[in-house]
Amino acid sequence: MSAGPAVDPRGPRFAAILTTIVLAIVLITQWWPLLAAQAVVFAIGAFIGLKPAPYSLIYRYLVAPRLGPATEREDAAPLRFAQAVGLVFAVVGTIGFAAGLTALGFVATAFALFAAFLNAAFDFCLGCEMYLLIKRFSPSPRAS
């Protein structure tokens, strides 16, 4: 049973590559407006949906047409949860850098970068795995 619409798994991996690049630039430059822009990208993916998210649009219109059709699909719910987790770290990082709390900005951004890199390089979505663990250990509505 699916908890959300199914997506081409190559799209989120492409988004993770772009996110990795953006977050690496933020760590090097400590330029918080770029991190704030990434937070907006995460917010769109988490709360509005993956389909209208900026990196999804780039994938759908510029990358996917050059690839063959997707041979598999994956549930969007874990991916949206991962976007929400990324949003939290991006917001904390933005606040840290903007407020002059460089260590906070650096650590929060590094955590987000680590998760994005795992997905980009190894196709391991840390936020998705967190989602599945939470679902597994949450009481089901039928149990109450």
> If pLDDT is split at 50, 70 and 90, which confidence band does 1 have?
very low
In the chain, % of residues over pLDDT 70: 95
2 confidence band (pLDDT: 50, 70, 90): very low
DSSP 5-28: -EE-THHHHHHHHHHHHHHHHHHH
- Among 1-10, 39-48, 65-74, 79-88, the least confident range: 1-10
Mean pLDDT of the chain: 94
Residue 66 dihedral angles phi and psi, to the nearest 5°: -90, -5
Quick check: 128 and 79 in contact, CB under 8 A? yes
Q: What are the residue boundaries of the structural domains of the chain, listed by start? A: 7-66+74-137
Average of pLDDT values for 110-135? 97
53-74, pLDDT tens digit by residue? Answer: 999 999 999 999 999 999 999 9
What's the pLDDT tens digit per position in 70-99? Answer: 999 999 999 999 999 999 999 999 999 999
| Structure-block tokens of residue 24 | 């690496």
* Cα dist from 65 to 6, 31, 51, 60, whole Å: 18, 33, 16, 7
For position 71, what pLDDT does the model report? 92
Distant-in-sequence, close-in-space partners of 138: CB < 8 Å, separation ≥ 6? none
**Distance separating the N- and C-terminal Cα atoms of the chain:** 20
Strands (E) located in the chain: 6-7, 74-75
CA distance 73 to 59: 15
Model-level pTM?
0.91
